[in-house]
């Protein structure tokens, strides 16, 4: 029995070490980023800026909220999370997101691509520097009966 437990312990330790050597994520950095990023992106999809702002870097909050009024007319129907790229020390990441949305009154859905820049602030907490203009500006250029409210 003791021999069996020793073998199990040695095997488990080897697998853990081997996983780390292969570039695993023992601290869960990528997993925590995926959770934060999905919550943020869901909030943006539904125009819930109050929920999304907890993920936004404080120094860009004013600019972030300047786009809030534009979402009175923008409808995001879906999104797809593309490539997630973490740097070597897992402190910074970029996430490619493609929203599908339209401007109220037009019903012409467009792909709206945003490259989100994420920074790990401490532990497994992540903040984003959103690129809201990449979501709003393509709809402003779309022919329509009304204008998208100015963001700045």
Range of the domain at 104: 25-140
pLDDT at 130: 95
Q: Is 131 among the domain residues?
A: yes
Q: Is 1 among the domain residues?
A: no
Tokens (6 digits) for 33: 């980023």
pLDDT above 50 (res 19): no
Tokens (6 digits) for 63: 């600019």
Contact predicate 117/127, CB 8 Å: no
pLDDT at 47: 93
Rg of the chain (C-alpha set): 21
Q: Is 18 among the domain residues?
A: no
Q: Is 126 among the domain residues?
A: yes
pLDDT at 152: 47
For the stretch 66-84, pLDDT in tens is 999 999 999 999 999 999 9
Starting at the edge strand found earlier in the chain, the sheet holding 110-122 runs 74-86, 92-103, 110-122, 125-129
Q: Is 11 among the domain residues?
A: no
Q: Is 3 among the domain residues?
A: no
CATH code (residue 123): 3.10.450.50
> What mean pLDDT value characterizes the chain?
83
Give me the number of domains the chain comprises: 1
Q: Is 134 among the domain residues?
A: yes
Q: Is 5 among the domain residues?
A: no
The span from the CA of 85 to the CA of 118, in Å, is 10
* pLDDT band of 6, cuts 50, 70, 90: low
Tokens (6 digits) for 37: 């990023």
pLDDT above 50 (res 64): yes
Alpha carbon of 134 to those of 9, 18, 97, 98, 110: distances in Å?
51, 41, 11, 10, 12
- The structure's pTM equals 0.74
Q: Which range has the worst mean pLDDT, 8-12, 70-74, 126-130? A: 8-12
């Amino acid at each position: 029995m003791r021999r069996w437990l020793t073998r199990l312990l040695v095997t488990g330790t080897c697998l853990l070490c081997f996983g780390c050597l292969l570039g695993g994520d023992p601290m869960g950095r990528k997993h925590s980023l995926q959770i934060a990023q999905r919550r943020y992106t869901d909030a943006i999809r539904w125009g819930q800026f109050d929920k999304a702002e907890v993920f936004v870097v404080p120094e860009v909050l004013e600019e972030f909220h300047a786009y809030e009024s534009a979402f009175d007319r923008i409808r995001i129907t879906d999104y797809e999370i593309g490539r997630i790229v973490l740097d070597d020390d897992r402190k910074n990441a970029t996430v490619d997101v493609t929203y599908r949305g339209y401007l109220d009154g037009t019903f012409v859905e467009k792909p709206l691509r945003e490259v989100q820049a994420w920074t790990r602030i401490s532990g497994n907490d992540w903040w984003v520097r959103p690129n809201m203009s990449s979501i709003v500006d393509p709809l402003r250029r779309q022919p329509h009966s009304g204008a998208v409210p100015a963001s700045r």
